[in-house]
Amino acid sequence: MEKIAVFPGSFDPITLGHYDIIKRSIPLFDKIIVAIGVNADKKYMFSLDERKHFIEECFENHPTVSVATYEGLTIDFCKKVNAKFILRGLRNPADFEFEKAIAHTNRKLSKIETVFLLTAANTSYISSSIVRDVIRNGGEYELLVPDAVRVK
């Protein structure tokens, strides 16, 4: 059976932390679907097409990594794509507590396993919200994101 993992998030934008988690998970799974969740109530800095393009460009040389978008529950998307794993990155203890509750709920509702990877020490402080704040204030956001992410 093919080991398919879904790495869900808004990726507004993808950061070096996300990039690191995906790269390190490539040997663990046969296929990784980076799944951009769409939330109509959320205001994004980057359009869905821009976020998708950033990720596709980052992993254009990795055929086992694909990008998709979805609405609704992550577990429903996982069922649709036949994924048995949800991939999540943990930066700190607060992330763990939050993600643990979601993982338990997902497991109860669907039997999907959540696999946690710790972020690398050199990227553990980076979050998309910090990157957006740096961009809004004219800072050197390029130090926090893959080369594919560039503001026009």
* 42 catalytic per annotation: yes
Would you call 24 a catalytic residue per the annotation? no
Catalytic-role residue among 91, 100, 107, 132: 91
- Given 18, 51, 52, 88, which residue is catalytic? 18
SS3 state at 14:
coil
Q: Which residue has the tokens 């951009």?
A: 36
Of the candidates 39, 37, 45, which has an alpha carbon nearest to the alpha carbon of residue 12? Answer: 45
Identity of residue 142? E
Residues whose CB is less than 8 angstroms from the CB of residue 66 and which lie 6 or more positions away in sequence, other chains included: 31, 32, 33, 34
Among the options 10, 51, 52, 128, which is catalytic?
128
Instruction: List the catalytic residues.
Output: 18, 42, 91, 128
